[in-house]
Amino acid sequence: MRKWGILIVALIMVTSVLAACGQNKNNAGGNTPANESQGSANTGTASKKLIVGLSADFPPYEFKIKNENGDNEIVGFDVEIAKEIAKDLGAEVEFKDMLFDSLLNELDSGRVDLVISGLSPKPERAKQVDLSQIYYKAEQSVVSVTKDKDKYNTMESLEGLKIGVQKGSIQEDIAKTITGAKLTSLGKINDIIMQLKSGRVDVAIIEGPVAESFVKNVEGISITDAKPVTEDEGYVVGVKKGNKEMLDQVNATLDRLIGDGSIDKFVTEASALAEK
């Protein structure tokens, strides 16, 4: 009986050792609890990846081209600014292309870290997210088919017209102030241009440099003499509400880029690229 007792004790000890080894092996495999994962959005400067939301149909701010490998690549001067912000944060940058009117909801939900997409500082936006300083200003334009260009030389001449605008944009707000205007609000500028070319809308209100880019690349459309005026001139970066660390870093990068002339350089380069 004594020998059996010794054997049983020995078996228990061996089993315990093997179980412990199994646990050590699992822990050594590098499994990390979900709440300790790295690289998620809105982690501030601790994140190694900066997730940037934009709507890549807004040349020269952000748009797609085919790169040398034949793949779609998002480029534009907003893109270059975002890369500089990421560099100053010591982070990699990842771009998420989406509809313009969904950008702030994505930011508010934490699925992106910041939004840079020709975003104007509208007061209602400032209630939802934090906004950076203005980094660029541009006028608004009214675009028509070329044969009708001379019809529309004042904002009053747009009264009662069918007007194409980007959904959720400052241009949509402008169009809503025009007496009798019938709005077609779409998510993509390309779709607005198609509506204009096909005669489904009479004119489109589009941000100045974007309008110039489309006029140079799409036959049969022109910028009219009508000049929309808005109090929300200028463009900003959107940051999740309360993320002061990120907002301060964004403003610091913008200060640097404005001060050394980089933004003007980015605009020139992106405009030339969009013309191709």
pLDDT over 90 at 260, yes or no? yes
What whole-number distance in Å separates Cα of residue 57 and Cα of residue 65?
A: 11
The reply to whether domains 48-137+234-275 and 140-223 share a CATH topology is yes
Angle at 145 between CA 204 and CA 117, to 5 degrees: 35
- Give me the pLDDT at residue 4, please: 40
Inter-axis angle of helices 244-259 and 77-89, nearest 10? 120
Of 199, 198, 196, residue with least CA distance to 142: 196
What the block records as the tokens of 13 is 């000890």
pLDDT over 90 at 55, yes or no? yes
Q: What is the pLDDT of residues 21-51, one digit of tens each?
A: 443 433 333 333 333 334 445 544 445 899 9
Question: Which CATH architecture describes the domain 140-223?
Answer: 3-Layer(aba) Sandwich (3.40)
Tell me which of 3.40.190.10, 3.40.50.10800, 3.60.21.10, 3.40.50.620 is the CATH number of domain 48-137+234-275: 3.40.190.10
The residue with greater pLDDT, 186 or 23, is: 186
pLDDT band, residue 274 (cuts 50/70/90): confident
- pTM (whole model) above 0.85: no
- Give me the pLDDT at residue 205, please: 97
What whole-number distance in Å separates Cα of residue 99 and Cα of residue 57?
A: 9
- Give me the pLDDT at residue 17, please: 40
- Where are the chain's structural domains? 48-137+234-275, 140-223
* Cα distance from N-terminal residue to C-terminal residue, the chain: 92
- Give me the pLDDT at residue 232, please: 62
- Give me the pLDDT at residue 122, please: 87
